[in-house]
Amino acid sequence: MNSALLIPLQLALTCALQILFFQNMAFWDGWGILTFHLLGILLLPLNTRPVLLLLVSGTVGATIDIFAFGGGLFTSSAVAMALVLPFIDRLLAPREGYEVTDEPNIKSMGVQWFSIRTIAALAVHNLWMFSMEAGRWGLVLVGWGKAITSSLICWLLFVVVLQLAQSKGKKR
């Protein structure tokens, strides 16, 4: 499929799944919060301009906020993650840099690269989000704990979803 069409579709699909399905799922008394819409942002091409990344992330976050009554919480966190994502990509870049054909998924970059990038980006997003939500110093430590566990669960979810999607692609 044409990537110009695939990217908006990918963003819309992850947002829709988050709103319709994953936002209602919270494990272990809030220690496992799923933020599936971030997969759409994480799968944006590696050469996406940082400003565009910020704007797209802001839009995705705002969409979730509107439907999940987040009140700006997801927007702020997604924008924070989008600011850091280019730095993470630069740190994880191969010595000779990224190829034009490289895509930020398991198939193209491998499980290790994908996992480190995803966990780092999710950690930034969730630390920001839970800190904001805590609102006071007494709850911040608990919030950070939830941020770490939620990031790990979300990373696991992304790996499973991408592996399933790739295996279906291969069958076809």
Partner 1 sequence: MRNLWNFIVQYQVILVFLLLQGLAISWFVSSHGYPRGAWVRLALDCESAWQGQINEWRHRTELSDQNFQLLEENARLRSSMGTPSSIQLAKRSQFTAAEVIRATWTQNQNYFILDRGKEQGVQAGQGVITNGGAIGKIIETTNDYSIGIPLIHNQIDWSARIGATGAIGRLKWDGVDPTAGMLFDIPRSAEFSPGDSVITTGFQGVFPPNLLFGIVANDEAPFDGEFLSVPVNWVVDFQSLRYVQLAKTKDANQINSLQNTVNPSAP
Residues within the interface to partner 1 (CB under 8 A): 50-51, 54-55, 58, 61-62, 65, 71-73, 75-76, 79-80, 82-83, 132, 135-136
Q: Give 80 or 154: the residue with its C-beta nearer to partner 1.
A: 80
Vertex 37, ends 99 and 115: CA angle to 5°?
A: 45
Q: Give 95 or 136: the residue with its C-beta nearer to partner 1.
A: 136
Listed in sequence order, the residues at least 6 apart from 30 whose beta carbon sits closer than 8 Å to its beta carbon are: 146
Instruction: Tell me the closest approach of the beta carbon of residue 29 to partner 1, in angstroms.
Output: 19
Q: Give 65 or 89: the residue with its C-beta nearer to partner 1.
A: 65
- What are the tokens at 66? 């509107």
Task: Give the DSSP letter string of 6-47.
Answer: HHHHHHHHHHHHHHHTGGG-EEGGGTEE--THHHHHHTS-TT
Q: Are 50 and 133 in contact (CB under 8 A)?
A: no
Instruction: Tell me the closest approach of the beta carbon of residue 74 to partner 1, in angstroms.
Output: 9
Instruction: Tell me the closest approach of the beta carbon of residue 72 to partner 1, in angstroms.
Output: 3
Q: Give 71 or 110: the residue with its C-beta nearer to partner 1.
A: 71
